[in-house]
Chains A and B, each alone.
Chain A
């Protein structure tokens, strides 16, 4: 029998087909294996660090699965630009990713957070410090990284500890900072700390510079002219290398170079570029917990996969980002966005990589259990020098002169 297709049944059929074709992401997003979209700046200004962070994601792809989780990761490149981060996030959601993680940079993470909020897709921020990310009342955004205020407060609190441990009393400091979203947020954090708690030194000069700078000679000369005891830096990788080269050339030698939490001075590239001049730089930052078996396993695996790199916080946090996503989906027993959000709110991961208590999120979606450690570059690698309970070595401060290094 041949059934005739009339205009009405054709219309109903066409509408049904259209509806299915038009909403593939929604249909896919309701079930099946968890798809995690990972966004990192793997090209552009932040490519070097973004590629580095990818190491943590790659480790998680196998190690977190070995911990009994089932998922797949779809990688995307933000090209170090917030507008690209936004379109890539939309693309990942359209391709059926149930949850996103990323994105190393605050501006890019904020752009992704807005997309996730609009689409009702959970977003686990692995690295990004701008407080605005968790201060805007987003319902789908969770962050396992300190805010700039936390970074600043935790990092700045360690200054006093360092001075106490080394019996030193620097009175003045120059603050040099990169002028991007991260740098500005950190400076606000430092100023806020100074107002409310008080720094153990006076900032006599505040020098900002562009993230894509290729010459810091004038900035360093200006810092030197301030004749302060200490140099406090908020930086990225390329600019801190330029800065220290200039400091050596201009024979600018403060008592120490200390960052209250920035990416760069702990990287292997920093040591390769500066050799002996990389030593004695101090970064106060969230760091690996050497007492956690998972941290030791991750460090060992990373060392095998990347013998020319140092295991740093970027690896730890990107690894934990994937772990948080997979853990939420396992507990939720679903990839439904709302179920994932409810599971994320109830997160309690004690077996972790980074220093601090269990991973949990407060009502803003922020993990507040993220203390900092002071790591000092000693003998070509970053070592924990404070807090004393976790220290691998004693702090060397003031740092030896440029010409006094062998």
Chain B
């Protein structure tokens, strides 16, 4: 088996987690039309939440994923209801600045509380791996990817099958029409923001199995989320997954064929290519 196959598989597994992370950004923009510049910082907050849950209650990160996702849902819901709703009708640059302000506030607060050093979770399976023929699959990567795919499937079912999900889609497609039909658009916007934040919370939990966390980590993941949703198509759920997988695989292959230090270069290259050839993203709808 060629050596690059291991890199492709590892890239796909990591890419699934990236996909869930970017999905949160895509849901928020797709419904509320606000670009969440505090996306990565919210994820870092979730990661610290997982560490605290393990420290206080001894919870395994996979068990704390739904708890952290619910906590982030509450945070996102409150943020939208209490603050962002006032900015919905304002110029976009004011929304950007508000979100950047929230990002800075979160980073500084986490720095004060948790300090600048890296932190991680400890699990009994952290150093285990599966051997499937010539492939070696990192156990935490398999768990993280499975959790991410399951979360995305649940979210897809929620938007397709539940009344609330359908109502949120109606608000996204035509807020005026939805309001005329009697839907409380503000509440559904807050629910959508909460769902996006919950995706971030869950992806943060899964990502924490793969990387260590420190307060400054957020900005790089906000940027990565943007790259993924732009490649996949802003507002598209399958697009976020596809974008995540493509970025994960491109990172793996560039690490193998070129240099691990240059793995991000290919993500940016992919982004520029998509912007040139298909500006709405691979699965995005033309505006």
Which residues 107-125 in A have Cβ within 8 Å of B in the complex?
none
Q: Which residues in B have their C-beta under 8 angstroms from that of A207? A: 259-260
In the complex, which residue of chain A has the Cβ closest to the Cβ of B216? Answer: A212
CB distance from B265 to the nearest CB of A (A): 13
User: Which among A48, A179, A217, A248 has the highest number of chain B CB atoms within 10 Å?
Assistant: A217
User: Which among A43, A48, A218 has the highest number of chain B CB atoms within 10 Å?
Assistant: A218
Question: B138 and A250: CB pair below 8 A?
Answer: yes
A47-B116, A222-B255 known; A248 vs B127 contact (CB < 8 Å): yes
In the complex the two chains form, what is the Cα distance from A214 to B213 in whole Å? 8
Q: Is A291 an interface residue (CB 8 A)?
A: no
Q: Which residues in A have their C-beta under 8 angstroms from that of B211? A: 214-215
A contact residues, range: 20 to 34
Q: Which residues in A have their C-beta under 8 angstroms from that of B124? A: none
Question: A225 and B138: CB pair below 8 A?
Answer: no
Q: Is B263 an interface residue (CB 8 A)?
A: yes
CB distance from B17 to the nearest CB of A (A): 11
Question: B210 and A250: CB pair below 8 A?
Answer: no
A238-B212, A250-B138 known; A214 vs B217 contact (CB < 8 Å): yes
Which of B136, B252, B261 meets A210, CB within 8 Å? B261
24 contacts between A and B (CB under 8 A): A44-B116, A45-B116, A47-B116, A47-B117, A207-B259, A207-B260, A214-B211, A214-B212, A215-B210, A216-B260, A217-B10, A217-B14, A217-B138, A218-B7, A218-B260, A219-B260, A221-B256, A222-B255, A222-B256, A245-B126, A249-B129, A249-B138, A249-B139, A249-B140
**16 further A-B pairs in the complex, CB-CB below 8 A; given A48-B117, A217-B141, A250-B129:** A45-B116, A179-B261, A207-B260, A208-B261, A214-B212, A217-B138, A218-B255, A221-B6, A221-B7, A221-B255, A222-B256, A238-B212, A249-B126, A249-B139, A251-B131, A251-B136
Question: A249 and B217: CB pair below 8 A?
Answer: no
Q: Is B41 an interface residue (CB 8 A)?
A: no
Q: Which residues in B have their C-beta under 8 angstroms from that of A209? A: 260-261
In the complex, which residue of chain B has the Cβ closest to the Cβ of A45? Answer: B116
Question: B118 and A214: CB pair below 8 A?
Answer: yes
Q: Which residues in A have their C-beta under 8 angstroms from that of B139? A: 249
In the complex, which residue of chain A has the Cβ closest to the Cβ of B253? Answer: A218
Q: Is A242 an interface residue (CB 8 A)?
A: yes
Number of A-B contacts (CB under 8 A): 71
CB distance from A247 to the nearest CB of B (A): 9
Which residues 232-287 in B have Cβ within 8 Å of A in the complex?
251-252, 255-256, 259-261, 263
Q: Is A277 an interface residue (CB 8 A)?
A: yes
In the complex the two chains form, what is the Cα distance from A251 to B7 in whole Å? 15
Main secondary structure of the interface of B (DSSP, over half): mixed
In the complex the two chains form, what is the Cα distance from A209 to B262 in whole Å? 9
Q: Is B173 an interface residue (CB 8 A)?
A: no
Q: Which residues in A have their C-beta under 8 angstroms from that of B255? A: 218-219, 221-222
Residues of B within 8 A of A (CB): 3, 6-7, 10, 14, 115-118, 126-129, 131, 136, 138-141, 210-214, 217, 251-252, 255-256, 259-261, 263
Q: Which residues in B have their C-beta under 8 angstroms from that of A250? A: 129, 136, 138
Which of B3, B129, B213, B217 meets A225, CB within 8 Å? B3
Question: A218 and B252: CB pair below 8 A?
Answer: yes
One digit per residue, 1 when the CB lies within 8 angstroms of any chain B CB and 0 when it does not, for chain A 227-246 equals 00000000000100010010
Residues of A within 8 A of B (CB): 43-45, 47-48, 179, 207-210, 214-219, 221-222, 225, 238, 242, 245, 248-251, 277
Q: Which residues in A have their C-beta under 8 angstroms from that of B128? A: 249
In the complex the two chains form, what is the Cα distance from A45 to B212 in whole Å? 13
By Cβ-Cβ distance, the 3 closest A-B pairs, closest first, are A218-B255, A214-B211, A219-B260
Question: A43 and B116: CB pair below 8 A?
Answer: yes
In the complex the two chains form, what is the Cα distance from A48 to B117 in whole Å? 7
Q: Which residues in A have their C-beta under 8 angstroms from that of B261? A: 179, 208-210
In the complex the two chains form, what is the Cα distance from A179 to B261 in whole Å? 9
Question: B118 and A238: CB pair below 8 A?
Answer: yes
In the complex the two chains form, what is the Cα distance from A215 to B126 in whole Å? 14
User: Which among B14, B128, B255, B263 has the highest number of chain A CB atoms within 10 Å?
Assistant: B255
CB distance from A119 to the nearest CB of B (A): 29
In the complex the two chains form, what is the Cα distance from A99 to B105 in whole Å? 39
In the complex the two chains form, what is the Cα distance from A47 to B263 in whole Å? 27
CB distance from B140 to the nearest CB of A (A): 8
In the complex the two chains form, what is the Cα distance from A44 to B214 in whole Å? 10
In the complex, which residue of chain B has the Cβ closest to the Cβ of A80? Answer: B116
In the complex the two chains form, what is the Cα distance from A219 to B138 in whole Å? 15
CB distance from A262 to the nearest CB of B (A): 18
CB distance from B215 to the nearest CB of A (A): 11
Question: B251 and A218: CB pair below 8 A?
Answer: yes
User: Which among B127, B210, B211, B213 has the highest number of chain A CB atoms within 10 Å?
Assistant: B127
In the complex, which residue of chain A has the Cβ closest to the Cβ of B252? Answer: A218
Q: Which residues in A have their C-beta under 8 angstroms from that of B131? A: 251
CB distance from B251 to the nearest CB of A (A): 7
CB distance from A287 to the nearest CB of B (A): 26
Question: B256 and A251: CB pair below 8 A?
Answer: no
In the complex the two chains form, what is the Cα distance from A209 to B261 in whole Å? 6
In the complex the two chains form, what is the Cα distance from A265 to B115 in whole Å? 23
CB distance from B182 to the nearest CB of A (A): 48
Q: Which residues in B have their C-beta under 8 angstroms from that of A245? A: 126-127
CB distance from A275 to the nearest CB of B (A): 10
Q: Which residues in B have their C-beta under 8 angstroms from that of A45? A: 116
CB distance from B8 to the nearest CB of A (A): 11
In the complex the two chains form, what is the Cα distance from A216 to B211 in whole Å? 9
In the complex the two chains form, what is the Cα distance from A248 to B136 in whole Å? 11
In the complex, which residue of chain B has the Cβ closest to the Cβ of A227? Answer: B3
CB distance from A214 to the nearest CB of B (A): 4
CB distance from B275 to the nearest CB of A (A): 25
Which of A210, A218, A219, A277 meets B127, CB within 8 Å? A277
Question: A225 and B256: CB pair below 8 A?
Answer: yes
Question: B116 and A242: CB pair below 8 A?
Answer: no
In the complex the two chains form, what is the Cα distance from A100 to B126 in whole Å? 44
In the complex, which residue of chain A has the Cβ closest to the Cβ of B264? Answer: A210
Q: Which residues in A have their C-beta under 8 angstroms from that of B252? A: 218
CB distance from A142 to the nearest CB of B (A): 31
In the complex the two chains form, what is the Cα distance from A209 to B7 in whole Å? 17
CB distance from A42 to the nearest CB of B (A): 10
